Structure 1
């Protein structure tokens, strides 16, 4: 044994310490079983925080550090479902504006070029939609609206707020994708009636599309 330890470069104290630990009963065996049961029962969707909450609801006394450590040791990792991005494009419904922005994402002055999109979130099992308007000059969000439906009124409201807040000079540009909200006459008229120019990217989401607002 001495020869093998010396050949492996393992100190005797280290070897006997780990040997002793292996021979001792696992003091966390019971809670490990509870963790695995919770993880399996919830179809591998729970991370350590939700497993901890589930354990506490069952009467277990534990902290997040312990549950996190044990789940790592047991190789229990929650399955993360990729969120499908909201896509408002539904084909050519009305007017498709030309791409006047042409990837010129850094205007020299504020209140000249704005971009907008619609982002979908799920909160407490419900779909929530966010429509921000960004000034490309400094990437600041100048207006936004939140709603439970991605309607044309919803997107027009955020644009109206942006116009009121920024009071852009004639010739300003609003650039979006080709979502149905942005093809609607109400959106187009709101831009034109306030001295703006409408611009749209290509229908397929790519590097040529709207600057990421998320």
Structure 2
């Protein structure tokens, strides 16, 4: 509605949703990868500052779990706080370090030499591992971790998981892990390129990134 130039209060939207019995699915118990202090624990450098002035300035990451029949599937995305886009992600039937390291490595491959992001996670065992720290060091990135037992410190990652499960996973029945993997691929593409956000002025993450980049280039040309 914002994108089409229609102004309406959020409370009005909520009231209309109630009148039409439009409700979200209840979010279920989250996956917890904390196993105590088994390696390096970084401080909470991000400190709930969930905004960024430029792309690849601040990233958040986490792992979530899906149950399909008698199997589990785990998703590890890297989310850019500049525009909330998913810059990289990986999936596996095991929540091991290979899963998280793959998504971080792929995200770092898109960095320019001058870009050294702050990378925030919880205190999951994957992020305390020396292999995670080595990837961060290689790319000059700064580690940051949520305080123990405080999911709000990584609220942006939790919010993404909630949206994905509410808007896709809970609305469908999946027979196999492969079917779910395909659905997640499709959802993340839709999320990045089509799903509009009020935070981004009614634009999808990649629309916002492109528009901002074009505006920056125009200003640079004038200077």
| TM-score for the superposition, normalised by structure 2 | 0.57
Tell me which of 113, 135, 140 is aligned to 2:58. Answer: 113
> Are residues 145 and 100 of structure 1, via their aligned partners in 2, closer, same or farther at CA, if it must alter by over 3 Å?
same
Any unmatched runs of 5+ in structure 2?
1-24, 162-223
Deviation of 1:123 after TM superposition, in Å, equals: 1.7
**Quick check: 1:182 aligned with 2:127?**
yes
**Mapping of 1:1-214 within 5 angstroms?**
83-167=28-112, 169-211=114-156, 212=158, 213-214=160-161
Which structure carries more relative contact order (alpha carbon 8 Å, separation 6+)?
A: 2
Deviation of 1:158 after TM superposition, in Å, equals: 0.4
What do residues 40-88 of structure 1 show as CA deviations (whole Å, max 9, x unaligned)? xxxxxxxxxxxxxxxxxxxxxxxxxxxxxxxxxxxxxxxx997431100
How many pairs does the alignment contain? 135
Runs ≥4 residues deviating over 6 A: none
Deviation of 1:103 after TM superposition, in Å, equals: 1.1
Cα distance in structure 1, aligned partners of 2:113 and 2:87 = 12
Matched residue of 1:207: which SS? helix
Matched residue of 1:186: which SS? helix
Instruction: Say if 2:61 and 2:77, in contact at 8 Å, map to a contact too.
Output: yes
Cα distance in structure 1, aligned partners of 2:28 and 2:70 = 13
| TM-score for the superposition, normalised by structure 1 | 0.59
Cα distance in structure 2, aligned partners of 1:199 and 1:120 = 22
Instruction: Say if 1:142 and 1:166, in contact at 8 Å, map to a contact too.
Output: no
